[in-house]
Chains A and B, each alone.
Chain A
Amino acid sequence: MTLEVGGVARRPRVNLNALLIEGRAFLALVLAVVIFSLLSPHFLTGDNLILMTRHVAINATVAIGLLMVILNGGIDLSVGSIVGLSGVVSGYLLQGWNIPFTDRTAYLPVWAVVIVSLIVGASIGLVNGFLIARLKIAPFIATLGMLYVARGLALVITNGVTFNDLRGEPQLGNTGFVRYLASRPLGIPMPIWVMGAFAIIFSLLLNRTPFGRWLYATGSNERAAELSGVPVRRVKIWVYVFSGICAAAVGMLLAADLPAATPRGGEFYELNAIAAVVMGGAALSGGRGTVRGTLIGAFLIGFLVDGLVLVGVSVFWQQVIKGAVIILAVAVDQAQQTLHRHRAGAKAVRAASGGPPDPPDRAVTIQQQKVTVT
Chain B
Amino acid sequence: MIAEHGCDAPAVALAASDDVVLRAVGIAKHYGVTQALKGVDFEVRASKVTALFGENGAGKSTLMKIMSGVERPTAGHLELDGEIVEFGSINEAAARGIAIIHQELNLCPNLSVRDNLFLGRELRTPLGGVDYARETAVAKELLARLEEDIDPARPVSSLRLGQQQIVEIARALAGDARVMIMDEPTSALSATEVLVLFRIIRELKGNGVAIIYISHHLEEAIQIADDAVVFRDGALVATHSGEGLELPWVVAQMLGGAEIPDRDVSRLFTEVGVALSVRDVEVADTDGSGRLAVDGVSFDVCAGEIVCLFGLMGAGRTELLECLAGRLRAESGTISLNGEAVGSLSIRDRIARGIGLVPEDRQRDGIVQLQSVGVNLSLTTIAALHVPPLLNRADERDRVLAGISEMRVKTSGPEAPIVSLSGGNQQKVVIGKMVLAAPKVLLLDEPTRGIDVGAKAEIYRLLNAQADNGLAVLFATSEIGEALSAATRILVMRKGKVVTEVDPAQADRDSVMAAAGGAAGDLLEAVLA
Interface residues of A (CB under 8 A from B): 1-3, 5-12, 14-15, 204, 208-210, 213-214, 216-217, 219-221, 223-231, 287-288, 345, 348-349, 351-352, 354-362, 364-365, 367-372, 374
Asked whether, in the complex, the Cβ of A358 is within 8 Å of the Cβ of B34, the reply is yes
Docked Cα-Cα span, A9 to B412, in Å, equals: 5
A228 to B383, CA, bound (A): 12
Assuming the contacts A14-B415, A229-B380, A359-B422, asked whether A349 and B32 have C-beta atoms less than 8 A apart, the reply is yes
Asked if B31 contacts A360 (CB within 8 A), the reply is: yes
Inter-subunit contact B34/A357 (CB<8 Å): yes
Contact of B4 among A210, A349, A356, A361 (CB under 8 A): A349
Complex-state Cα separation, A224 to B379, whole angstroms: 10
Residues in chain B near residue A229, CB distance under 8 A: 347-348, 351-352, 356, 379-380, 437
List B contacts of A354 (CB < 8 A).
33
> Are B357 and A227 in contact, CB atoms less than 8 angstroms apart?
yes
Check B415 against A374 for contact (C-beta < 8 Å).
yes
Could you say which of B4, B347, B391, B410 contacts A352, with CB atoms under 8 Å apart?
A: B4
A12 interface neighbour in B371, B383, B412, B451, Cβ under 8 Å: B412
Contact yes or no, A220 B368, CB < 8 A: yes
Q: Do A3 and B452 form a contact, CB below 8 Å, given A230-B348, A358-B33, A361-B363?
A: no
Judge whether A374 and B369 touch: CB under 8 Å: no
Q: For the complex formed, measure the closest distance between the CB of A17 and the CB atoms of chain B, giving whole angstroms.
A: 9
Q: Counting chain A CB atoms within 10 Å of each CB, which of B356, B357, B371, B423 scores highest?
A: B371
Q: Which of B4, B347, B356, B368 contacts A217 (CB 8 A)?
A: B368
Distance between A260 CB and nearest chain B CB, rounded to angstroms: 38
Query: Within the assembled complex, what's the spacing in Å between the Cα atoms of A87 and B32?
Result: 57
**Shortest CB–CB separation between residue B130 and chain A, in angstroms?**
33
24 contacts between A and B (CB under 8 A): A3-B413, A3-B414, A5-B404, A5-B409, A7-B411, A12-B415, A14-B417, A209-B386, A209-B389, A209-B390, A213-B378, A214-B382, A217-B375, A224-B368, A227-B366, A229-B380, A230-B379, A348-B32, A349-B30, A349-B32, A367-B369, A368-B417, A368-B419, A374-B374
Contact across chains for A210 and B382 when beta carbons are under 8 A apart:
yes
The answer to whether B375 touches A368, judged by C-beta atoms less than 8 angstroms apart, is no
Residues of B near A357 (CB, < 8 A) are: 33-35, 452
Number of interface residues of B (CB under 8 A): 70
User: Which residues of B are at the interface with A, using a C-beta cutoff of 8 A?
Assistant: 1-2, 4, 30-36, 57, 325, 327, 347-348, 351-352, 356-357, 359, 362-372, 374-375, 378-380, 382-383, 385-386, 389-391, 393, 404-405, 408-417, 419, 422-426, 433-434, 437, 450-452, 454-455
* Chain B nearest CB, measured from A360 CB (Å): 4
Known A-B contacts A9-B412, A371-B371; A359 and B352 likewise in contact (beta carbons under 8 Å): no
Tell me if A3 and B423 are in contact (CB < 8 A).
no
Is there contact, CB below 8 Å, between B386 and A352? Answer: no
By Cβ-Cβ distance, the 7 closest A-B pairs, closest first, are: A358-B422, A3-B413, A348-B32, A220-B370, A229-B351, A7-B410, A10-B412
A116 to B412, CA, bound (A): 51
Q: What's the Cα separation between A195 and B506 when bound, in Å?
A: 71
Given contacts A227-B365, A228-B379, A287 and B370 within 8 Å (CB-CB): yes
Q: Are A223 and B364 interface neighbours, CB within 8 A?
A: yes
CA distance A31 to B156 in the complex (A): 55
The answer to whether A352 and B412 touch across the interface, beta carbons within 8 angstroms, is no
Q: For B404, list chain A residues within 8 Å (CB).
A: 5
Residues of B within 8 A of A364 (CB): 363, 369, 419
- For residue A196, give the distance in angstroms from its CB to the closest CB of chain B: 19
* A226 to B347 alpha-carbon distance, docked (Å): 7
Q: For the complex, what is the distance from the CA of A365 to the CA of B425, rounded to whole Å? A: 18
User: What is the chain A residue whose CB lies nearest that of B408?
Assistant: A6
- Contacts A14-B372, A210-B386; is A227 near B325 (CB within 8 Å)? yes
Q: A352-B33, A365-B369 are in contact. Are A227 and B327 (CB under 8 A)?
A: yes
A217–B35 Cα gap in the complex (Å)? Answer: 32
Q: How far is the CB of A366 from chain B (nearest CB, A)?
A: 10
A345 CA / B30 CA spacing, docked (Å): 12
**Across the two chains, which residue of chain B brings its CB closest to A368?**
B419
B391 CB contacts on chain A under 8 angstroms: 208-210, 213
Within the complex, the shortest CB–CB distance from A54 to chain B, in Å, comes to: 30
Besides the contacts A355-B33, A359-B424, A361-B362, what 18 more A-B pairs have beta carbons closer than 8 Å? A1-B413, A6-B405, A12-B416, A208-B391, A213-B379, A213-B382, A221-B364, A221-B365, A221-B369, A228-B380, A228-B434, A349-B4, A352-B33, A357-B33, A358-B34, A361-B422, A371-B372, A372-B371
